Structure 1
Amino acid sequence: MRISNNIMYSDFIKNLGTNSSKVQKTMNQLSSFKEVSKSSDNPLLVSKIMGLNVALDQNQMYSKTINDAISWTQVQDSALNDAGTTMLRIRTLVQSSATATAGTDEVKANKDEIQQSISELVDTLNTNFDGRYIFGGSNTNTPPYVVKKNSDGDITGIDYQGTDQNLPREISEGVSVDLLSNGNNLMNTHDKTTGKDDNLGTYFNDLVSALNSDDKTQLSGDLLSRFDNLSDNITSVRSQVGALENRLSAAQSRNSTETLNLKEEISDKQDVDVASKYMEYQNQMTAYQATIAMGTKIMQTTVLNYLD
């Protein structure tokens, strides 16, 4: 079968275009270090890469939320530690005032220090993190605790001005935790032995009244046992904060692992193997140059080449 020059020219142009396109594509991959640069290069691969990038962005958003929540719980733990120290000092002063040997002047001095300690306790519970009050419930913009005083300057209680809600935080898809920001949990307690409820503000009012009247029976009895329940309640809330911090730390570890896996998977699908791709480029250039070389021979053929 006779092969016409037109057929040879057509095949040459087709092969030249194919090899040229391959070389151009490989050069683009080497210059960008990416397997694909637009969706038409490989629609299915691009779709997978886009999905992985969305998952990575979402995971990094969760990471920021988790880190913020961990910092929040750490500030809470520090504040409750200071609150526990202040409560311990108040208990020591109550015990000192309850002894039979404590005179009027000593009780008055203890009362003054107790009132200072109550104010210090309120300042501690009004701690804020990044401009947000940590025990104000959903109201994080205003101090949640306020000391009440009478006309004589004596403390008559503590008012809680926050809300009863905790702050929800989504730490992964479909998983949320509540930051323990409901400050009412620190104010109120329930005595399982007596079945009675108590309030920190009410207690401090009763305590100052007993100190004013030097009621050692109350100071050594009911007020001391009530104080222990209220102090234990603060310790209990602190343990809950610690448990939440442990959970968040575990979530942070999982998030970091997931982020690393997603980055590796994106890299496997998107990034080029430079050494392998360069070898591929060299082979393609060889084929391209061979095609051009053969083309010059074909193009130079005339009718005289067939005359003997």
Structure 2
Amino acid sequence: MSLRRFRLTILTLAAGVVGIAQAQQAPADNLNLRYANGIVAIAEDKIITVDDVRREIGPLIGELQKQARNEQEFNEKLEGLQNEVIQNLIDRVLIVKEFYKDEKRRVPASYIDNQLAETIITQFEGDRSKYLAYLRSRGISQKEYRREIEEDMIYNFMRQQQAKSGSTVSPVRIEDYYNENKERFFQEDSVHLRLIQINRTPEDTDDTLRAKADAVIAEMDGGATFPDVARKYSNDPRKSRGGDWGWQRRPDLRKEFSDVIFELKKGERSKPLITAEGAFIFYAEDRKYAGNMPIDDVRPDIERALVQQGSRRATERWLEKLRRNAYVKHF
């Protein structure tokens, strides 16, 4: 059969889905308006229908509605999502075809069996009757559904393989990225802060508060750790965490606090600060000084970003090549 006759045959088969698509009530989307005959695309010998697209989009509609601020924005996001799903469905066909170009490649039946069993458990609560009812609702056989699972496995495997091909990053590339983007790695002066708070009572004077704080400090001077003493004496809401407030920047703190805290070096403890609320003792668990972070501190982050970037590019180049050499008709 010539390629032209083959394509005409596919178009004739595609027309057969029109009656089915029109007989079903459309959900609240514009797919029936965009694709009045119920056909979205043909990729190689595969007909992609409106129902195929809806099945992929359905679980995502709720999140889309949360993101959209109004109906117009929802419709714009929905159309963008539809286009993305359609392209993914087309790519899936092309990827599966690419997999089978190597006649030695096969997905072991045991792998498919295991995935099918897992699907019945996770998607159908382990209830085979629900699984069979789902197949009937779609009008497909168990064999056809098994084929879908196989193709899903192929699709995921092939994309992962391509992503790996772009995942090697040299130390030189990491250093170049760091030097070219130093402004991204600027850090403000910050302290990993712990504190002990002793609340002021109606009877307390500044002197009695200072005496209470000095007693707490004496316990630490005797060998107790700051976190343990904080758990024992502090009225701070994070006492159960040893008074740990994590990393704090100067602008995040009251000036009377920051003036004391940012004089501390790593491992240093402040003298008691007496305020209207009570007495405070601060501890600098760690310090970061304003300036560019050392490359060794950010190397893993840079490598991760470059690996993701390289994987995306490698996958996109591969997909573009598959698309150029494929028969795809959009409706």
Global fold match (TM > 0.5): no
Larger radius of gyration: 1
Instruction: Name the structure with the higher helix share.
Output: 1
* TM-score, with length taken from structure 2: 0.26
* Structure having greater relative contact order (Cα 8 Å, sep ≥ 6): 1
* TM-score, with length taken from structure 1: 0.28
